[in-house]
Amino acid sequence: MLRITKQTDYGIVLLTHFGLADEGQLLSAKELAERTRIPAPMVAKILKILVRAGLLDSQRGAAGGYGLARPARDLSLLEMIAALEGPVSMTECAEMGSGCPIEAGCRPRVNWKLINQVVQAALEGITLERMITPAPACATLDLGLVRAGLEAPQRT
Amino acid sequence: MLRITKQTDYGIVLLTHFGLADEGQLLSAKELAERTRIPAPMVAKILKILVRAGLLDSQRGAAGGYGLARPARDLSLLEMIAALEGPVSMTECAEMGSGCPIEAGCRPRVNWKLINQVVQAALEGITLERMITPAPACATLDLGLVRAGLEAPQRT
DNA sequence: CGAAACCGGACCAGAAAAGTCCTGAAAAGA
DNA sequence: TCTTTTCAGGACTTTTCTGGTCCGGTTTCG
Ligand code: SF4
Ligand code: SF4
């Protein structure tokens, strides 16, 4: 679990197709639906969300379609997810002035904020551009270093 | 979004109380419910899950209760979340032989597996023991290093 | 025995998520 | 101009999951 929604998942798949296409080329909803096999109405819905979030530009009318608002290397996974399903935060307290009924006597609360930062940093470090590459650029990402960053404070 | 469920959240809060208590001391469901202000039936439900997952031991009968099955330093956040809401995986494909209707022509698929590993590594690095400390031990965790681990492959 | 506690699972109401559909408005081209 | 394409904006339905409750049964202690 801890899943992204299907909508988000689809949205990211769609975005990769823009990254793959020639820069500036417009892709229509119908076209995307055919390529990705995602149900057409869903594609339309998601693209609209992406436009409103500012990740895509749209051009209406015949021969219209959608295109990336920014180059693929400037688009982080964190932004994509945030656009498609709201800001990333693992607990409801970490985000806003809570509303959590417990809150008092909740020890982990303070730490959740930190954990969120780690997750967000991880997602922010992945760009659409890297998402497009089959794997190697991503495959070598240094898990050891990531772990070291987490364990550092315990060492000294 | 990308939230853990409330059940998971509560479960972790409960676990912290065990970490705080004297080692070997048994806490009853009722007692926990009072301390945490979590609805009692919920507490009971969650504790049962935790026992079945092997994170807690239980002792029935009068004067019975629950206790940690392992020391707090050997219990990672990853395990807690997995126990409470299933294995951590951000996409449905990353985990098992999918069932995802798209799959073909899905570029990001291969990369999601890596991203999952990063998230898992991050969650695995946080122990219940650290979760209990008010903040400082966690507050200094090296975000810079985490980012470095992610960006490493792009540098060389 | 009887009270205290866990065990197992059924159950429900409400909230999201997934997916569909319809009416309109712009743009391009015949 | 008029038609076609394609996006914009919602409303809507269906399905699934969550949060939360409840109960009958079993173990253990006093
Ligand atoms: S205050 Fe504690 S219980 Fe409430 S949402 Fe935050 S971490 Fe969870
Ligand atoms: S195969 Fe692609 S679309 Fe399907 S779950 Fe995996 S990432 Fe998402």
Q: Name the most confidently modeled range: B75-79, B138-142, B148-152.
A: B75-79
Q: What are A63-87's pLDDT values in tens digits?
A: 999 999 999 999 999 999 999 999 9
Whether residue A138 has pLDDT greater than 50: no
**How far is the C-alpha of A66 from the C-alpha of A60, rounded, in Å?**
9
Q: Angle at the Cα of B21 (from B49 to B42), degrees rounded to 5?
A: 30
Q: What pLDDT was estimated at residue B113?
A: 85
CA dihedral B12, B17, B19, B24 (to 10 degrees): -130
Band (pLDDT 50/70/90 cuts) for residue A32 is very high
Contact yes or no for B1 and A86 at CB 8 A: yes
- Could you report the per-residue pLDDT of B53-67, keeping only the tens digit for each? 999 999 999 999 999
Contact with chain B for residue A40, Cβ under 8 A: no
| Partner residue opposite A16 with nearest CB, options B35, B107, B125 | B107
Q: What percentage of chain A reaches a pLDDT higher than 70?
A: 83
Report d(CA B134, CA B146) in Å as an integer.
Answer: 22
Interface test with B, best of A118, A132, A140 (most B CBs within 10 A): A118
| Residue B151: pLDDT over 50 | yes
Q: Determine the Cα–Cα distance for residues B9 and B18; give it in Å rounded to an integer.
A: 15
Q: Which residue has the tokens 């730490």?
A: A111
Residues of chain A with C-beta less than 8 angstroms from the C-beta of B154: 130, 137
Q: Is the pTM of this model over 0.85?
A: yes
Does residue A90 contact residue A115 with C-beta atoms inside 8 Å?
A: yes
Beta-carbon separation of B107 and A147 below 8 A? no
Q: What is the pLDDT of residue A147?
A: 63
- pLDDT greater than 50 at residue A155: no
> Does residue A7 belong to the interface with chain B, where contact is any CB pair within 8 Å?
no
What average pLDDT is seen over chain B? 87
| pLDDT of B102 over the 70 cut | yes
Choose from B20, B74, B111, B154 for mutation: most chain A CBs within 10 A: B111
Give the number of the atom of ligand 1 that is nearest the alpha carbon of residue A92.
5
Q: How far is the CA of A45 from the C1' of D12 (A)?
A: 14
Closest chain B residue to the Cα of A95, Cα to Cα:
B1
